[in-house]
Structure 1
Amino acid sequence: MAIIKQAARQTLGQLIGANNPAVTVPDDSQRQYAWTKKEVDIYWSDIKKFKTARDGGKDSASEYFIGPIVTITDKKVSTRSLLDGQQRLTTSTILIAAIRDALWNIGSVEGSSTANNLHRDYIARKAGRRDPMEYFLVLSLFDRDFFRDYIQDWNESTGRCPGVERATRPSHKLISEAYSNFTSKISAELSSYADDEERLDWLDGLRECLINGLVFVEIQTPTSSDANEVFETINSRGKDLSTVDLVRNFLMEKSKSETEKQRVNDAWRVILDGFEKREEIERFLRHFWVSRHGDVKSHSLYSTIRQNLSHHFNRIPQSYGVGAFSAELEAASNRYIDLINCNTGDADFDASLTEIKSLSADALYPLLLAASERRSYTDLQDLIDASISYYVRWTVVGRRESTLLEEKVFGAAKEVSAGAQIDSITSHICDWIPDDEAFRADFMEASTPKSSQSRYLLGKIEAYLRNTAGVDEVVVANSPIVHVEHIYPQKPGPEWRLDEHEAWVNRIGNLTLLNGRKNQSMSNLPYSQKSSIYDESILLVTAETGTSRIWNSETDWWRVEGIMERQEDLAALALNIWPSGKRWN
């Protein structure tokens, strides 16, 4: 059971301010700044509603409770380490900075003076000319320098922060986006006031709401283990803390030396710098674990990792510790980044990775991650190509249960990590690929409502046709000038609409590709009014696969039989593009 020293009501001004001990996010715990525009918008909306009610004199609006925070405090409460509440306190500080800058930008003596006072009281100050800067909120090492440069190191003479640090991590970008978001919202509010006096009053009212109206409950604990227990208990009831953060906290808790803690931080620095989005880090952690241990669902990932690693870390003597796990995680993250960015250095393998990305076939990454630890990318070409055929035949065209594919692929990844031969795993995948008869039957009935999948299938068919004809290749994948076209339109006028519109509109036989910007009004015309566009297209999948069969020129009406005929022809091509397992066995 965690020991709680006390739970005290604290306003924002009592938590962060010149007369209070600084709130510090310790380097060996916590996460980085993670609030997106969605959370920032909700926060602003709540503050704005609170201000309106408070300005109206409602007794019920004297305070706005924003939730608990967890700190580790010494006996005299002269130091405070923040374990939970970083997102709310950081966002509140960013909003105070936006108010400060809005006050300065009014351009009056009063505005500048008030801005300076606000900054000194609740963001940062120097006690004397030669004294170091005192920051009232100190973030962890991953965000600390950027936050100071962008928010806290404010020049009282120029009204600007240095702004020299580059936003190199996802959390940095979110900090700058939150500041820009608040700045825009404040500017919009101030534009409705006629003069500077009214603008100063409005900003002062917003400041008052934040500093004296925003209320927390600070849960003070004496040790990091007590704080972590409270921390995890609070966050297990919501989505406030991610699995990545919980895993890092757990590793810090289990570290037996400063060297091990530094090893964890080194690994996390590589991970944070390597991924562009926080969601990618979450996905990597799950795929890393799956690649070694088989399937585990996202909601139970942390508890599974904690239980498994605790078993290893608590052994005496210890044969596998925090340092070894952190090193493995770091090495895997570098390979995973190469995989999702299609940047392994092997042109053929990267082309196949581009296909996986186009298909959003994330289920294949754990297998490739496990295999890439054992063999070179060149040696994995058959494995990745067979996996793509399996995914396309089973999931994209066959619409079979995707969880069955994941179960098999995740199991194969675990076998590779345990020492199975790559050729043997490739052979297993080949056995799972639906045969030609099943694939042809599936393709004949297939619809692809997802534009990305339609684009991928038609793009591969285009590449096959051009290769067979020996003509120059045209890049379709991710090309901004190529779009998916519905021959029978998605939104035809009432006079051109089929009775069974939904049954035919997304059939593969009704889809093709066109180069150039999509013209929605042109796309919704009957075939007779756009046939020349198809006939003159440089794309063979459009000009040479019989799109004219979908229109009856004698009756001036659609032929659903033509959709079926064209789809049958495309199915014959698909058998060669996504072959059965016999190709690799």
Structure 2
Amino acid sequence: MSLVDIPEPSRFRIGNLFQDNNFIVPQYQRNFAWEDNEIDDFWNDLVELADGRRNSHFFGQIVTFKNPDGNQELIDGQQRLTSSSILLAVMRDIASEAYKHNRDDMSPDSGDVLRDVQRDVRKFLRGEEDSQPSLMLQRGNQDKEGRDANAFFATLIHGGPDHAYTEPTKNMVAAYKYFQRHITSSINTSKTWAGRVDRLSQLFKAFVDNFYVVMISAPSQRDAFIIFETLNSRGKDLKASDIIKNHLMYLSGGEIEEANQKWNAVSHELKDDSDRITHFIRTYWAARQRLVVESHLYRSLSQELTNGAKGNEFLDDLEQLVDLYTMLEGAPLNKLQNFFQNEALAEQIDILSRLRVKLFYPIVLALAKRGFSRSDMVIVMQKVISIFIRHRTIMNDGTNSLETGFAVIAEDIWNGKLNSVSAINEAMTERLMKPDAQVKGAFLNLTKDGGLRGPKKWTLVYLLVQLYDEELEEKAFTDDDFQLVHVGETSVSPTMLNYIGNWTLLEKGLVSDYEKAVGDNLTRSRLLNRSFITVNHELANDVEQGWNDQKLAARQAAFASESLVIW
């Protein structure tokens, strides 16, 4: 990308910035994404000024270009200006409510101050009585109420919070309520209306008079893109997806509307969540090109995506694969079954989701891109599960080598180097499969904490369901009929309490009586015999005769041998 001469920056106070410009956020820009951390920093900076601990605050840079209509199209700075507009609206609304309901209890001077705040904010924000607002957000993509970002923003600014359905609009409402809560708390520290109004005036004047921005208004849209990318190439204040989007819009040239439509289709599927979009792109890039850390993602992409054709191909791939990615993220089993139309594959994905495993995503994307059938995917996914269980669950090795290894396999699938199920599985076995002797040795001392929910629970449930070799999947996962219980507590050594061999699954209706019967071998034996699970009937005999370390160790050893067959 070539550099351009950066135009002479203009320095504005916030009040003058809004008064002297009309800003428009193009549809291709990222959505409002500031959350509690950024809003909290914003508020703390304002309080420092209002309290006199500083004289001024530099609020950052804004990059724009003036379009033919005379409006400043925002390439960088939407987050600051949107948050500023919301803050001003909250100050106006608080002043309005205070004056409306309490003017008889305050002095004329206090009433004048409140009216001045309302008047000035209306002058800054505009947008009433058919006037053009000082800031207009993205238009086009509508929520289920038929509102785009700009319509929702206008309602929020001029009418207060409404129900939000998308991530950006939820962020807007959260910012409004944050400012409302903190300003109210700040002014209510005074017991008099004169003191409260004075505090509101301090906050208002500190913001509009002492917050500064530098605006760089480029001569063209292309130059604005280059300036933005030059200033933000390290991605310090942006998610990787945001600067990647800017790069793609720059590459698209005259096809920017088409490129933006493709991006928005992807963004919409991911609820306009910058983090999710970034994770999706990183997963896609790991499958197509190479695995990189998030902080290097933009740099890696920009080195490869150097023209409009490559950018368009990239967007086409994202559009093609985003629905699949959303399924991998944690869709419920019934949605997985509807999407894949293959029960076995849906169950595999569901299990990995319950175990919070994401390392395999690039492999699935690569398989889909290369057109492998669902039945082929089942065979590959069984190998993926086997490798994960051996590597991570049994041997407790770290995930870095596994993530890298899966990404390498995915790349070879994507580029056609691995073009059959047998070739894929052979490559995974050679590169990633832990040897039998190491796995069995690790299993002999394998412990798991269990638990009532989350991946700890589902990891142990999955191990036992597979080791029991019974038709338990639906009852254990879909219906969640069972609970994890120790076979014995007081009769085994404390160090062996959480050995796999000392765990079993028991119907939830039997668990309470089982747990109460600690030390009562006969009662526990009877409860195990009432279980649907055949293995529990075999355990019942051992428990009735007296469960101990030796029996536990023998069961663990049998599981260790069986694990080599299953995984």
Q: 1:408 to 1:462 in 2, by over 3 A?
A: closer
Q: Deviations over 1:55-92 (max 9, x none)?
A: xxx5xx221222222232479x9542222222122122
1:305 matched to 2:301? The reply is yes
Q: Deviations over 1:484-504 (max 9, x none)?
A: 778999xx9xxxxx9xx8x77
CA contact (8 A) 1:2 1:229 kept: yes
Q: 1:568 to 1:228 in 2, by over 3 A?
A: same
Q: Deviations over 1:131-153 (max 9, x none)?
A: x3411112233789544444434
1:64 matched to 2:57? The reply is yes
Once the 2 structures are TM-superposed, how far is the Cα of residue 542 of structure 1 from its aligned partner?
11
**Alignment correspondent of 1:89:** 81
CA contact (8 A) 2:67 2:73 kept: no
Instruction: Choose the corresponding residue for 1:390, options 383, 387, 392.
Output: 387
Q: 1:273 to 1:74 in 2, by over 3 A?
A: closer
Q: Deviations over 1:308-357 (max 9, x none)?
A: 121x55xxxxxx44433322221121222233244324332121111221
Structure 2 distance, partners of 1:118, 1:150, is 22
Unpaired stretches in structure 2, ≥5 consecutive residues: 104-110
Q: Deviations over 1:390-419 (max 9, x none)?
A: 111112222234333223321221222223
CA contact (8 A) 1:383 1:422 kept: no
Q: 1:141 to 1:193 in 2, by over 3 A?
A: same
**Alignment correspondent of 2:427:** 428
Q: How does 1:332-347 map to 2 (within 5 A)?
A: 332-342=321-331, 343=336, 344-346=339-341, 347=343
Counterpart residue identity of residue 301, structure 1:
L
Structure 2 distance, partners of 1:87, 1:478, is 45
CA contact (8 A) 1:456 1:477 kept: no
**Alignment correspondent of 1:288:** 284
**Alignment correspondent of 1:582:** none
Once the 2 structures are TM-superposed, how far is the Cα of residue 98 of structure 1 from its aligned partner?
2.3
Q: Deviations over 1:363-383 (max 9, x none)?
A: 200110111231232331111
Counterpart residue identity of residue 96, structure 1:
L
Structure 2 distance, partners of 1:69, 1:155, is 21
Once the 2 structures are TM-superposed, how far is the Cα of residue 292 of structure 1 from its aligned partner?
1.4
Structure 2 distance, partners of 1:92, 1:572, is 64
Once the 2 structures are TM-superposed, how far is the Cα of residue 196 of structure 1 from its aligned partner?
4.6
**Alignment correspondent of 2:441:** 441
Q: 1:331 to 1:472 in 2, by over 3 A?
A: closer
Structure 2 distance, partners of 1:471, 1:528, is 28
Structure 1 distance, partners of 2:450, 2:460, is 12
CA contact (8 A) 2:86 2:176 kept: yes
Counterpart residue identity of residue 270, structure 1:
A
Structure 1 distance, partners of 2:122, 2:501, is 67
How many residues were matched structurally? 532
Structure 1 distance, partners of 2:157, 2:86, is 16
Q: Deviations over 1:95-140 (max 9, x none)?
A: 22222333333343659855742542222334xx5xx341111223
1:330 matched to 2:319? The reply is yes
1:273 matched to 2:274? The reply is no
Q: Secondary structure at the match of 1:9?
A: strand
Q: 1:183 to 1:430 in 2, by over 3 A?
A: same
Structure 2 distance, partners of 1:464, 1:417, is 31
Q: Deviations over 1:161-215 (max 9, x none)?
A: 5847x523x2222222222332333344455444554443333322222211212
Structure 1 distance, partners of 2:148, 2:41, is 24
**Alignment correspondent of 1:316:** none
Counterpart residue identity of residue 348, structure 1:
A
Q: Secondary structure at the match of 2:96?
A: helix
Once the 2 structures are TM-superposed, how far is the Cα of residue 430 of structure 1 from its aligned partner?
4.1
**Alignment correspondent of 2:14:** 12
Q: How does 1:312-327 map to 2 (within 5 A)?
A: 313=308, 320-327=309-316
Q: 1:297 to 1:282 in 2, by over 3 A?
A: same
Once the 2 structures are TM-superposed, how far is the Cα of residue 244 of structure 1 from its aligned partner?
1.4
RMSD, aligned CA: 4.3
Counterpart residue identity of residue 275, structure 2:
E
> TM-score, structure 1 length as denominator?
0.77
Q: 1:104 to 1:349 in 2, by over 3 A?
A: farther
Q: 1:366 to 1:154 in 2, by over 3 A?
A: closer
Q: Secondary structure at the match of 2:361?
A: helix
Q: Secondary structure at the match of 2:215?
A: strand
Once the 2 structures are TM-superposed, how far is the Cα of residue 7 of structure 1 from its aligned partner?
2.2
Deviates more, 1:284-293 or 1:419-428: 419-428
Deviates more, 1:559-568 or 1:399-408: 559-568
Q: Secondary structure at the match of 2:216?
A: strand
Counterpart residue identity of residue 167, structure 1:
Y
Instruction: Choose the corresponding residue for 1:264, options 259, 262, 287.
Output: 259
Structure 1 distance, partners of 2:260, 2:550, is 62
Structure 1 distance, partners of 2:392, 2:227, is 43
Structure 2 distance, partners of 1:413, 1:368, is 8
Q: How does 1:542-581 map to 2 (within 5 A)?
A: 567-572=556-561, 574-575=563-564, 578-579=566-567
Once the 2 structures are TM-superposed, how far is the Cα of residue 282 of structure 1 from its aligned partner?
0.8
Counterpart residue identity of residue 306, structure 1:
S
**Alignment correspondent of 2:108:** none
Deviates more, 1:540-549 or 1:352-361: 540-549
Structure 2 distance, partners of 1:536, 1:100, is 68
Q: 1:200 to 1:382 in 2, by over 3 A?
A: same
1:34 matched to 2:33? The reply is yes
Unpaired stretches in structure 1, ≥5 consecutive residues: 314-319, 493-497, 580-585
Structure 1 distance, partners of 2:95, 2:540, is 64
Q: How does 1:153-164 map to 2 (within 5 A)?
A: 153=155, 160-161=159-160, 163=162
Q: 1:515 to 1:23 in 2, by over 3 A?
A: farther
**Alignment correspondent of 1:370:** 366
Q: Secondary structure at the match of 2:75?
A: strand
**Alignment correspondent of 1:24:** 24
Q: 1:504 to 1:273 in 2, by over 3 A?
A: farther
Q: Secondary structure at the match of 1:463?
A: helix
Q: How does 1:519-538 map to 2 (within 5 A)?
A: none
Deviates more, 1:271-280 or 1:112-121: 112-121
Counterpart residue identity of residue 372, structure 1:
A
Q: Percent identity among equivalent residues?
A: 22
Q: 1:535 to 1:222 in 2, by over 3 A?
A: farther
Q: Secondary structure at the match of 2:213?
A: strand
Q: 1:370 to 1:199 in 2, by over 3 A?
A: same
1:216 matched to 2:213? The reply is yes
**Alignment correspondent of 2:106:** none
**Alignment correspondent of 1:583:** none
CA contact (8 A) 1:69 1:216 kept: yes
Structure 2 distance, partners of 1:505, 1:92, is 58
Structure 1 distance, partners of 2:141, 2:458, is 39
1:117 matched to 2:116? The reply is no
Q: Secondary structure at the match of 2:444?
A: helix
CA contact (8 A) 1:514 1:542 kept: no
Structure 1 distance, partners of 2:80, 2:157, is 25
Q: How does 1:406-425 map to 2 (within 5 A)?
A: 406-419=403-416, 420-423=418-421, 424-425=423-424
Instruction: Choose the corresponding residue for 1:460, options 446, 459, 462.
Output: 462
Structure 1 distance, partners of 2:402, 2:517, is 40
Structure 2 distance, partners of 1:184, 1:530, is 59
Q: 1:393 to 1:189 in 2, by over 3 A?
A: same
Counterpart residue identity of residue 360, structure 2:
L
Structure 1 distance, partners of 2:153, 2:117, is 13
Select the structure that is richer in helix: 2
